[in-house]
């Protein structure tokens, strides 16, 4: 191999190594920034929750937090309309049930008690 060719190859390799180290440094910075952001988010999240040492005790039947729906405005409007219709139907059903029970002769104040069901496991 000629000297000129060797020098050129060495120069190209050095240039590639220099670029590689710059890319590596850039990626390391991105990783560090992402880890810092994640730590900040975790710290913010833990700070917003009440700690058990403050005297706030969790109820034994704690419900899961509701997941926020990722809806478009149109989807949200459709859901709102459906829920309003559902609630209106429920209110109408309750109102009609009250009017028929007040018209009836011996209307019971609550649901009729049912005998306890026997379990197949003997309990």
Q: Decide if 95 is inside a domain.
A: no
Sign, CA torsion 32/38/41/42: negative
Q: Report which DSSP code applies to 106.
A: S
Sign of the torsion angle spanned by Cα atoms 21, 24, 26, 28: negative
Element (H, E) at 62: none
- Which letter does DSSP use for residue 71 in this model? -
Q: Which of 23-27, 41-45, 53-57, 98-102 has the lowest mean pLDDT?
A: 53-57
Does some domain include residue 102? no
- The better pLDDT of the pair 95, 123 is held by 95
Question: Could you tell me if residue 112 is inside a domain?
Answer: no
Query: What distance in Å separates the CA atoms of residue 79 and residue 85, rounded to the nearest whole number?
Result: 10
Residues 107, 101 contacting (CB under 8 angstroms)? yes
**pLDDT, tens only, 38-97:** 999 988 888 877 655 555 555 556 778 888 878 899 999 999 999 999 999 999 999 888
63 domain residue, yes or no? no
**Is 22 a member of any domain?**
yes
Residue whose entry in the numeric block shows the structure tokens 């190594």: 17
Query: What CA–CA distance (Å, rounded) separates 8 from 4?
Result: 6
The domain of 26 spans 7-46
The number of domains in the chain is: 1
């Amino acid at each position: 191999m000629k000297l000129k060719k060797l020098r050129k190859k060495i120069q190209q390799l050095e240039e590639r190594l220099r670029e590689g180290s710059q890319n590596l440094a850039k990626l390391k910075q991105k990783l560090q920034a992402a880890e810092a952001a994640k730590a900040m988010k975790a710290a913010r999240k833990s700070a917003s929750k009440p700690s058990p040492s403050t005297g706030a005790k969790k109820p034994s039947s704690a419900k899961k937090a509701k997941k926020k729906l990722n809806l478009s405005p149109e989807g949200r409007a459709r859901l709102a309309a459906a829920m309003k219709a559902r609630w209106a139907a429920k209110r109408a059903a309750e109102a009609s049930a009250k009017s028929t029970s007040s018209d009836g002769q011996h209307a019971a104040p609550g649901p009729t008690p049912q005998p306890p069901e026997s379990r197949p496991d003997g309990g």
